Amino acid sequence: MTSSRLETPTNTPGAHRGQHRAPHSSHAAPKKPPARYEPHLDGLFTYCLSVLCDHDAATEALGGVLALAERQGSRCPADEEERKTWLYALARWTCLRRLTEQKRGRR
């Protein structure tokens, strides 16, 4: 059925349903990592890249490392060298977990 109405209806069924939802985390603007992690970001990314051998996977893993570090913030060492060791341990755990998930997905 056609309409002789010239204006576009504003309540079209199914149109723009997502506009009232909270933004999805992947579409949100990236947050800047805390300054205390900044000196280690390049090295952590390089480490993740060497383990995962994929740029996108390494980027995601680094994001996971930083998120985990923030969640576990009370455990973050105050000493710079201990913090570096702690971050690399988180990176190792994150990368190994991702490799295990990939391996399980292939079976």
Evaluate whether 36 touches 76 at the Cβ level (below 8 Å). yes
Considering the entire predicted model, what is its pTM?
Answer: 0.68
Evaluate whether 40 touches 82 at the Cβ level (below 8 Å). no
Q: How many CB atoms lie within 10 A of CB 33?
A: 18
**pLDDT grade, residue 29 (50/70/90)?**
low
d(CA 95, CA 88) in angstroms, rounded, equals: 10
The pair of three-digit structure tokens given for residue 46, joined into one six-digit string: 């390089």
d(CA 63, CA 37) in angstroms, rounded, equals: 12
Q: Residue 22: pLDDT above 70?
A: no
Evaluate whether 94 touches 50 at the Cβ level (below 8 Å). no
Q: What is the residue-averaged pLDDT of the chain?
A: 83
